[in-house]
Amino acid sequence: MHMVRYRRNQQILTQVPLPADGFHAVAGHRPVGRRQRLSEGRELLSEPEAKRILAAYGVPVVETRIASTVDEAVALAERSGCPSR
């Protein structure tokens, strides 16, 4: 019976519940849905999405700032302490 219980326990330990739609929200953070990524034609998380999930689980991450224009990039660089030309 020990072998039967051992085998059953090993099978139970390998089972992983799958979330219904990608990642669940953690501590009030917006979930990053698998369907949304796939509908956009991508299988991987973007850097900000991955960092948001890591941060939600308490993993320290470097803040990511995204600039759409050169002026926004210059403003972000100045705010972060980069010297201007």
Domain definitions of the chain by residue range: 19-79
- pLDDT tens, the chain, 85 aa long: 999 999 999 988 888 766 555 555 555 555 566 677 777 887 788 888 888 878 877 889 988 888 999 999 989 888 888 776 6
Q: Return the SS3 of 9.
A: helix
pLDDT for residue 4: 93
Distances in Å between the Cα of 44 and the Cα atoms of 17, 18, 22 are: 20, 17, 11
Query: Which pLDDT belongs to residue 43?
Result: 77
pTM over 0.75: no
DSSP states of 22-80: SSPP-TTPPP--HHHHHHTT--S--HHHHHHHHHHTT---------SSHHHHHHHHHHT
**What pLDDT is stored for residue 1 in this prediction?**
92
